[in-house]
């Protein structure tokens, strides 16, 4: 299994590591999902869905990136997850009556394949192997959510931010070149965006990041965060060494 994960993750450019979609679904079933999906193009800032829209489909990211968030009182926003090429996400409802509790917005020009729940149900009824992989995917999404809640509730804002930096590196990280083998989060993410991911304020994130810089744990370069001492971050957030499929935003 470890060899398969490595081979699959290496296929993604720029260190992008999709959610467990490619580790849970077999290649034939991934191809089936793509075949069922109707591609939709989004510009940066476009909504894929909003709160109270019918939750009757899943989404497969072909290109670009999206965030799932919740709009709070006073114009604040809480980010629940980020999605990159290869991710499958959504809020499936077995009763067909649910509406979305969150909103999904394109962070850049993107292409998303939309899979109707009705088409998915047909495959689940007739293909037992696909149904088992679908259950595995849902379990993986639940474990990912539980791991985020653990970090947010048990280890304070510092622990949550340290965990977030590791999660972002697992998604967007690069080890650089032979001359520069540092652990770099390849995507530029603002302090406000990070604050929305851990339920904090920009000022608190600024303070914690500055403390980490003073300790020599991280640095910044051209707007990107460099992880100098990842083990320190793991210690602060009491890292449980989850696989990459779970340790991501």
Q: Residue 205: exposed, middle, or buried by beta-carbon count in 10 A (0-12, 13-18, 19+)?
A: buried
Q: Is residue 130 in some structural domain?
A: yes
Question: 9 pLDDT exceeds 60?
Answer: no
| Cβ atoms of 158 and 206 closer than 8 Å | no
Q: How is residue 59 written in tokens?
A: 């989404």
Q: Are residue 198 and residue 117 in the same domain, yes or no? A: no
At residue 222, the pLDDT reads 85
At residue 95, the pLDDT reads 67
Q: Are residue 93 and residue 184 in the same domain, yes or no? A: no
Residues in a beta bridge with 104: 49, 68
11 DSSP 8-state letter: T
Q: Are residue 17 and residue 97 in the same domain, yes or no? A: yes
Q: Are residue 201 and residue 85 in the same domain, yes or no? A: no
**67-76, 89-98, 205-214: range with lowest mean pLDDT:** 89-98
Confidence of residue 179 (pLDDT cuts 50, 70, 90): low
Q: Is residue 126 in some structural domain?
A: yes
Question: 28 pLDDT exceeds 50?
Answer: yes
Q: How is residue 113 written in tokens?
A: 């394949």
* Boundary of a domain, candidates 151, 169, 196: 151
Confidence of residue 14 (pLDDT cuts 50, 70, 90): very low
List of residues 6+ apart from 226 with CB closer than 8 A: 182, 183, 184, 185, 218, 219, 220
User: What is the pLDDT averaged over residues 227-246?
Assistant: 89
Q: Are residue 96 and residue 203 in the same domain, yes or no? A: no
> For the domain that residue 202 is a member of, what is the CATH number?
1.10.10.10
pTM above threshold 0.85: no
Domain containing 107 equals: 2-151
Q: How is residue 75 written in tokens?
A: 């114009």
User: What is the pLDDT averaged over residues 160-168?
Assistant: 94
Determine the Cα–Cα distance for residues 87 and 104; give it in Å rounded to an integer.
13
* Boundary of a domain, candidates 151, 172, 207: 151
Query: Of 244, 157, 237, whose CA–CA distance to 195 is shortest?
Result: 157
Q: Are residue 176 and residue 120 in the same domain, yes or no? A: no
> For the domain that residue 40 is a member of, what is the CATH number?
2.60.120.10
Q: How many CB atoms lie within 10 A of CB 84?
A: 23
* Boundary of a domain, candidates 108, 133, 151: 151
Confidence of residue 118 (pLDDT cuts 50, 70, 90): confident
* Helix, strand, coil percentages for the chain (3-state, nearest 5): 45, 25, 35
Confidence of residue 223 (pLDDT cuts 50, 70, 90): confident
Number of domains into which the chain is organized = 2
């Amino acid at each position: 299994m470890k060899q398969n994960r490595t081979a699959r993750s290496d296929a993604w450019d720029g260190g992008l590591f999709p959610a467990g979609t490619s580790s849970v679904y077999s290649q034939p079933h991934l191809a089936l999902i793509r075949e069922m999906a109707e591609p939709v193009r989004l510009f940066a800032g476009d909504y894929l869905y909003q709160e109270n829209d019918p939750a009757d489909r899943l989404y497969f990211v072909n290109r670009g990136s999206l965030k799932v968030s919740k709009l709070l009182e006073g114009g604040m926003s809480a980010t629940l997850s980020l999605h990159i090429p290869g991710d499958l996400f959504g809020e499936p409802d077995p009763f067909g009556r649910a509406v979305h509790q969150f909103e999904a917005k394109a962070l850049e020009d993107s292409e998303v394949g939309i899979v109707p729940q009705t088409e998915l149900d047909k495959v689940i009824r007739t293909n037992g192997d696909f149904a088992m992989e679908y259950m595995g995917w849902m379990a993986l999404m639940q474990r990912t959510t539980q791991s985020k809640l653990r970090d947010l509730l048990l280890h304070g804002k510092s622990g949550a931010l340290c965990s977030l930096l590791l999660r972002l590196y697992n998604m967007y990280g690069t080890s650089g070149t032979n001359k520069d083998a540092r652990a770099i989060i390849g995507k530029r993410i603002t302090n406000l965006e990070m604050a929305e991911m851990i339920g904090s304020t920009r000022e608190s994130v600024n303070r914690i990041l500055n403390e980490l810089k003073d300790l020599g744990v991280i640095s910044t370069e051209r707007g990107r965060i460099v992880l100098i001492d990842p083990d320190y971050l793991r210690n602060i957030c009491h890292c449980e060494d989850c696989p990459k499929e779970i340790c991501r935003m």
